[in-house]
Amino acid sequence: MALPLPLDYPAMEAKLVSQLPEGPQWQYEPKWDGFRCLAFKDGDDIALRSKSGQPLERYFPEVVAAIAGLSAKQFVIDGELVIPIGNTLSFDDLLMRIHPAASRVTKLSREHPARYVVFDLLVDDKGDSLVDLPLVERKTHLAQFAERVLRQSPTFALSSITHQREQALAWLGSVLGVDGIVAKRVDLPYQSGSRTGMQKYKRIRTADCVVGGFRYGTNTKVVGSLLLGLYDDDGVLHHVGFTSNIPAGEREPLTRKLESLVKAPGFTGRAPGGPSRWSTERSGEWQPLATELVVEVQYDYWNGERCRHGTKFLRWRPEKSPRQCTMAQLNEESKAVASTSYS
């Protein structure tokens, strides 16, 4: 592509915080329950890239077609792919798109077409890069771009914005499909791959983890728990906990998938321990996996470089790269809640 930004241009990221920042230098947007996506258009060439740089075009053909139908010949936008179902957004329907069969993807795209919620303009329709401009100026350009270009298709919508912290927090209980709030510095340029100018606040504590292994259930050859891992700064994968609340209907097909991925060593750092006085020899055994699967879990608290107590399985994250699952996300959380008291 002849655009000033390459297809592997890393998206700006957000740091997890325990409370929203406030002040005139911040603006707030909903954290939509979808897939982060950069969209590139240069003439007839169109590309969709996930936050980890994975191509998404084949999974969202209706979005590619919508971009092709816009009058602008070139641009780069940043936003979130979402699928509305009724009055809310369905992450499960997004996951169903990550399917090897093109016919299945086409069928799903017709039944429940995705929408693209846009929150930044990185290259305008003249081919000019805007990434060095502060956010407040990029937002002005985006509003003008939306008026003359994005409004041509119902696939696109602009993300909501407020400068009032109280209003942003009110979205958490009133806007379906919002699983958090993102605070952005209005005075900073687009900081590719950095977490300096964006902070995200969630209602629950969650983490994206690599599935580094699994255990069979007691007296069965069906998966009982997934063993979770995170990478440290040196790229070493450490075991940090487990999750066992896998839906019953998914256990048998999941077992077959996991067995096809069995490969040593699984964890390259701290590994799961053997049987304890509370477990049997069978439940203490575990199977190492090739590091390909990413899962989002909810946890109570992070202490001693692991999630304490069991964690709750939330969903698979096929759009995320395992290498994005780092200790940093939970170490920041640990610092943020260190002074919090619980009754």
pLDDT digits (tens, 9 = 90+) for 213-269: 999 998 899 999 999 999 999 999 999 999 999 988 999 999 999 999 999 999 999
- Which positions are annotated as active-site residues? 31
Residues 171 and 246 in one domain: no
Question: Does residue 255 belong to any structural domain of this protein?
Answer: yes
In this predicted structure, what is the pLDDT of residue 176? 65
Residues 297 and 198 in one domain: no
The domain containing residue 101 runs over which residues?
Answer: 15-202
Report which DSSP code applies to 221. Answer: S
Residues 126 and 173 in one domain: yes
Number of domains in the chain: 2
Tally of helices (H runs) and strands (E runs) in the chain = 8, 19
Round to whole Å and give the CA distance between 118 and 142. 9
Question: Does residue 10 belong to any structural domain of this protein?
Answer: no
In this predicted structure, what is the pLDDT of residue 18? 83
Q: What confidence tens digit (pLDDT) does each residue in 32-83 have?
A: 989 999 999 999 999 999 998 999 999 999 999 999 999 999 999 999 999 9
Residues 49 and 187 in one domain: yes
Residues 114 and 59 in one domain: yes
Round to whole Å and give the CA distance between 240 and 139. 40
Q: Determine the straight-line distance between the first and last CA of the chain, rounded to whole angstroms.
A: 56
Round to whole Å and give the CA distance between 104 and 58. 11
From 202, 225, 258, the end of a domain falls on 202
Q: What confidence tens digit (pLDDT) does each residue in 123-160 have?
A: 999 999 999 999 999 999 999 999 999 999 999 999 99
Give, for 335, the enclosing helix (H) or strand (E): helix 328-337
In this predicted structure, what is the pLDDT of residue 318? 92
In this predicted structure, what is the pLDDT of residue 274? 47
Predicted TM-score (pTM) of the model is: 0.73
Question: Does residue 5 belong to any structural domain of this protein?
Answer: no
Residues 296 and 239 in one domain: yes
Residues 184 and 306 in one domain: no
Q: What confidence tens digit (pLDDT) does each residue in 1-19 have?
A: 689 999 999 999 999 888 8
Report which DSSP code applies to 323. Answer: G
In this predicted structure, what is the pLDDT of residue 342? 22
From 159, 174, 202, the end of a domain falls on 202
Amino acid of residue 78: D
Residues 169 and 267 in one domain: no
Question: Does residue 217 belong to any structural domain of this protein?
Answer: yes
Helix (H, G, I), strand (E, B) or coil at 165: helix
Report which DSSP code applies to 100. Answer: S
Chain centroid offset of residue 32 CA: 10
Helix (H, G, I), strand (E, B) or coil at 234: coil
Round to whole Å and give the CA distance between 117 and 156. 6
Residues 231 and 259 in one domain: yes
What lies within 8 Å, CB to CB, of 98 at 6+ separation is 59, 318, 319
In this predicted structure, what is the pLDDT of residue 284? 54
Q: Phi/psi at 285 (nearest 5 deg)?
A: -75, 150
In this predicted structure, what is the pLDDT of residue 340? 28
Round to whole Å and give the CA distance between 26 and 166. 13
Indicate which CATH number applies to the domain containing 241: 2.40.50.140
**What tokens does 166 get?**
């109280």
Round to whole Å and give the CA distance between 256 and 222. 9
From 202, 221, 254, the end of a domain falls on 202
Question: Does residue 3 belong to any structural domain of this protein?
Answer: no
Residues 150 and 34 in one domain: yes
Question: Does residue 62 belong to any structural domain of this protein?
Answer: yes
Confidence band, pLDDT 50/70/90 cuts, at residue 338: very low
What lies within 8 Å, CB to CB, of 189 at 6+ separation is 131, 132, 133, 134, 135
Round to whole Å and give the CA distance between 189 and 172. 27
Question: Does residue 2 belong to any structural domain of this protein?
Answer: no
Residues 190 and 76 in one domain: yes
- 8 A C-beta contact, residue 129 and residue 137: no
Helix (H, G, I), strand (E, B) or coil at 23: coil
Round to whole Å and give the CA distance between 243 and 245. 6
Residues 262 and 171 in one domain: no
- 8 A C-beta contact, residue 163 and residue 27: yes
Cα 233 to Cα 213, 313, 326, 327: the distances in Å are 21, 25, 8, 8
Question: Does residue 226 belong to any structural domain of this protein?
Answer: yes
Indicate which CATH number applies to the domain containing 194: 3.30.470.30
